[in-house]
Structure formats: structure tokens, C-alpha cells
Structure 1
């Protein structure tokens, strides 16, 4: 039987757990992430394939981003940090006015609220990266914000 986690309110600020305790989450594995298919709305909005890793983390999210040959994403920014790990291909990420080149095996840090976009420099092969973000943590605090250049401004 799954135990319920206590939700605290402002009147409970002085209460803490005496010891951490394990609470079994609803899901421990998301198998075959890419076979499940792209996240349609987000992929359309971002103009490249995005696969969401569906696990119950309250602090960290993971997505698999794909860039088609010669593809460039929209410029955007968000209040959460991102770390990209490049799985395959080669390309670049523009962060504010700086262009960072990357290839498979590289990791790239994107600070919060920095305008950025990604590009695949190969005209035949896709590029793929794993994006790890602290978006759920900020969403749960009510302070996650995302802007797409040209749409939200």
C-alpha cells in the first residue's frame, strides 16, 4: 500500500520530519522513452522533436531533444537552469551573444533567463541531446516562466 505524503501549509512551518523516510513513488522507470513518441504540442512549439521522460521527480526533469539536419530552434529563455548532454551529432548552442560548439560526449550549461537556441551543423545526420532541468522545482514554487522570442514578447 502506498503511503500518502503530508502536504505542509504556512501554519506548519515549524514542523519537519525527524528522519527522512522513503515514500515509494508512483513510477520508478520509464521504458522505451523514444518509442513512446514525441510530445506533440511541445515538439510543434519548439520546431524539433522532443521526448519527455515521464517520471515523478518534483525537482528535476529530463527530455530528449532531437535536431534534424541543419535545423535551428527558436530563441527562447526560461527561469530554470538546463544542462545538455550531447548523445549524438554536432552543433552549437547560442547563449545570449556567445556561440558554443558541441559534439557527442560534450555537456553544455544554460543559465536561467539567458536567451538561447540550438543548431545542428550537419546537413545529413540528426543531433540528439539529453536536457536536464530544474523546471519541476520552480513550477511547484510557482515561479517557472518560459518565453519564446517573437511569440511571448
Structure 2
């Protein structure tokens, strides 16, 4: 008698929190449709997010279900709106000099620096140059929280 995967799943024990030590991961490799996004900035700005955030945003289109990466830019002298979100962000500065205000703390940054923005912290970014743009890579765990149904973003002045 042959047992199908669906039948064997129904026969498996249902675990509760007291059984945590009895569960064992059984990871399996599943190759996604693609593993590279070439020439990210040549794909163009993401219209909705670039307009909403008032600075250029380029999405890195890769099949990760847990982390996202974007390339963000700040125009000369630009100050973004204050906002917060339930996901963490790590910024890596590629070009320029500026600061990120996190709650009441001003964190100055320049090319080569990395900045951590905790979840649900009010923050905004300022380019300190009036002539040169600033550029950074932002890595976030937004897809993971979106897949769990708990990702939230608030924009001061729009949502409050």
C-alpha cells in the first residue's frame, strides 16, 4: 500500500508548546525561479514608493520571503517625512553625508557607515549636502512580517 504525502501529513502528530523538544526541522532546498537581479537601478525607480517617500527608491527584485533590499537616494538637501514601521532596517551608505534621526537621537553618517533603525522607532533621513545626492542600501525584514500579517508602516502627517 502506497501512502501519499497528503495522507502521511494527516496522520502526523499535532504538537503543542509542551512538545517543542520533540519537533525536528527537516529543511529542503527549493530552487527559486531566479537568483540574481542584474542592473537594479536600470530597472527604474519604484513609482509608488519614490512618490510616497519623496526620494528615489529602487527595489531589488529577488525571491526572498524574509528580507528585502532597496537602494534609496536622498536628493541634495532633502529631509524625509518622519515614519515608523514594525520591521527592522539596516542602512549601508554608498554615497554622501547626512543623518538619520531615530526617536530623539541624531545619528550622523557618511559613505561606508551602517545605521540600524529598530522596529517601531520614529525616524527620518536628511542629506546634509545642498549639491550632492546621498545613496544607501536598505535591508529590512519586511517580507517576513508581511508573510505573518504583522507588517505596518505609519507616515507622520498622513496616517496620524
Fold shared by both chains (TM-score > 0.5): yes
**Aligned pair in 2 of structure 1 residues 58, 116: CA closer, same or farther (>3 Å)?**
same
Give secondary structure in 1 for the equivalent of 2:132. Answer: coil
- 1:130 pairs, out of 124, 137, 151, with 137
**Aligned pair in 2 of structure 1 residues 13, 25: CA closer, same or farther (>3 Å)?**
farther
Superposition misfits of 4+ residues, deviation over 4 angstroms: 11-14
Listed one character per residue, the Cα deviations across residues 113-142 of structure 1 (whole Å, up to 9, x for unaligned) are: 000000100111110000000000000000
Cα distance, 1:12 vs structure 2 = 8.2
Q: Which has the larger radius of gyration?
A: 2
TM-score by length of 1: 0.89
- Are residue 59 (structure 1) and residue 66 (structure 2) matched? yes
Cα distance, 1:149 vs structure 2 = 0.2
- 1:92 pairs, out of 91, 96, 99, with 99
- 1:19 pairs, out of 7, 26, 32, with 26
How far apart, in 2, do the equivalents of 1:79 and 1:26 lie? Answer: 29
Listed one character per residue, the Cα deviations across residues 69-98 of structure 1 (whole Å, up to 9, x for unaligned) are: 000111100000000000011100000011
Cα distance, 1:18 vs structure 2 = 5.8
Task: Give me the CA root mean square deviation.
Answer: 2.1
- Are residue 43 (structure 1) and residue 72 (structure 2) matched? no
Give secondary structure in 1 for the equivalent of 2:92. Answer: strand
- Are residue 33 (structure 1) and residue 40 (structure 2) matched? yes
Cα distance, 1:19 vs structure 2 = 3.4
Cα distance, 1:21 vs structure 2 = 1.7
Alignment match, 1:3: none
Q: Which runs of 5+ in 1 are unaligned?
A: 1-5
- Are residue 142 (structure 1) and residue 149 (structure 2) matched? yes
**Aligned pair in 2 of structure 1 residues 93, 13: CA closer, same or farther (>3 Å)?**
farther
